[in-house]
Amino acid sequence: MSADRKIIIAITGASGSIYARKLLETLSGMKRQPAEIAVILSDNGREIWKSETGTDFSAWTPLKEYNNNSFYAPCASGSSSYDTMIVCPASMGTIGRIANGTSDDLIARAADVMLKERRKLIIVPRETPYNLIHIRNMESLTLSGAIICPASPSFYSKPETISDLVMTVVERIVSLAGFEAGVYRWMEND
The per-residue pLDDT for 189 is 57
Residue 101 near residue 95, CB atoms below 8 Å: no
The per-residue pLDDT for 1 is 46
Q: Is residue 183 part of a domain?
A: no
Range of the structural domain that residue 100 is part of: 2-176
Q: Is residue 85 part of a domain?
A: yes
CATH number at residue 108: 3.40.50.1950
Q: Is residue 153 part of a domain?
A: yes
Q: How many domains does the chain have?
A: 1
| C-alpha distance from residue 29 to each of 34, 60, 140, 163, 189 (Å) | 10, 11, 34, 16, 23
Q: Is residue 184 part of a domain?
A: no
Q: Is residue 181 part of a domain?
A: no
| Tally of CB atoms within 10 A around 49 | 21
Q: Is residue 95 part of a domain?
A: yes
Whole-structure pTM value? 0.93
Q: Is residue 117 part of a domain?
A: yes
Q: Is residue 41 part of a domain?
A: yes
Residue 106 near residue 69, CB atoms below 8 Å: yes
CA dihedral 69, 70, 73, 77 (to 10 degrees): 90
| C-alpha distance from residue 11 to each of 41, 73, 101, 179 (Å) | 5, 16, 18, 20
The per-residue pLDDT for 186 is 54
| C-alpha distance from residue 66 to each of 37, 58, 106, 158 (Å) | 10, 12, 8, 37
Mean pLDDT, 10 residues at a time, over the chain (190 residues)? 82 96 94 92 97 95 94 94 97 98 96 97 96 98 98 91 95 93 58
| Tally of CB atoms within 10 A around 149 | 20
Cite the beta strand spans of the chain per DSSP E: 6-11, 36-41, 63-67, 84-90, 120-125, 147-148
